[in-house]
Copies of this chain bind each other. A is one copy, B any other.
Amino acid sequence: MPAVATREQIVAAADRLFYHHGYEHTSFADIAGAVGLSRGNFYYHFKSKDAILDAVIDARLADTRRMLEQWETEAATPAGRIMRYVEIVLTNRADIQDYGCPVGTLTTELAKLEHAMLGQAGRLFTLFRTWLREQFAQLGHAEHADELAMHVLAFSQGVAVMANAFHDEAFIQREVDRMREWLHTYER
C-alpha cells in the first residue's frame, strides 16, 4: 500500500479516537489497532504523537474550510449561513451528546495539558470565528461583527457541553430555536 493512503488512514483513525476518548487517553497502540498496523512501525509515518495531532488538526482545518465553502453555495443569505452553523449542534446531536464538540473538547484538553499544540488547535476556533464575523459583516453589522461571532461560538460551546452532560435532545432543539429568534433581531 502506498504510504499516503496509510498516512490518511492513520490520521482518520486518530481523529476519531482523539474525539471519542481524548488525546492523552488515546495511545499509539489504540491507533495502531484501529488501522491494523504494528505499534513500533508508526515512526515511519509520524515521528511523534505530537506529529499525529498536528496532522489531525490540519485535516480538521481542511475539512472545516471545505464545509464553510459548501455553505457559501448552499445558503444564499448571510443569516442563512449563520443558521447553518447554529444548526450543527442539531445535525451532529448524536456525536455531541456522546463526545461534546470536537473543537471545544480538544482545546480544553490541550489547555490543561499545557500542550505545545494548543495554539494550532486554536486556529480551528479562529477559522469559525473569522467566518462568522464575515457573515455578520455581510448582514450589515460590521461594527459588532466579531462580538456577534463570539456570541454564536459561545452558544454552540455551551449547548455542546450541556448536551454532553445531560443527553437532552429537547434542550438542544430549544436552544437552536432561541438562537434563530435572536438572529432575526439582527436581520434587516
**Chain A contact residues, CB within 8 Å of chain B:** 20-22, 24-25, 98-100, 104-105, 107-109, 111-114, 122, 125, 147, 150-151, 153-159, 161-162, 164-166, 168, 171, 174-175, 178
Majority DSSP secondary structure for residues of A touching B: helix
Tell me if A113 and B25 are in contact (CB < 8 A): yes
For the complex, what is the distance from the CA of A25 to the CA of B114, rounded to whole Å? 11
How many copies of this chain?
2
CB-defined A-B contacts under 8 Å, sample of 23: A20-B112, A21-B112, A21-B114, A22-B24, A22-B109, A22-B112, A24-B24, A98-B111, A99-B111, A100-B112, A105-B108, A107-B164, A107-B165, A108-B108, A108-B161, A108-B164, A125-B165, A125-B166, A151-B178, A154-B158, A154-B159, A155-B158, A157-B162
